[in-house]
Amino acid sequence: MGFRVLAVFLGTTLAAILAFTHFDNIPAYIVIAPGYLVQAWLFEAHHALGGFGYQATMVGVSALVWGLILLSLAAAFRFMIRLVRRLS
């Protein structure tokens, strides 16, 4: 189970890095949006990070959010499969 979680987070991190380097299309904006929102909030609160901190915030938050979304969808799907099998 731990390997699957690590694989999901590694995949979402790679997707966020790729999206961060390709800011010229809509799917990249969608992938990096959670990190962008956190960085905008930090800017408004006068705690914005610059340089590598900016990049790490954008990629890290986006990878974490999308990883949690994918893992919760997988858990819900697994729960539904178990429920259907139990009722059968």
pLDDT in tens, 25-75: 999 999 999 999 999 999 999 888 888 999 999 999 999 999 999 999 999
Whether 1 shows a pLDDT value over 80: the answer reads no
Determine contact, residues 48/67, Cβ cutoff 8 Å. Answer: no
pLDDT of residue 18: 95
Domain limits at 83? 2-87
The number of folded domains in the chain is: 1
Q: For the whole model, what pTM was predicted?
A: 0.88
3-state secondary structure of 23: coil
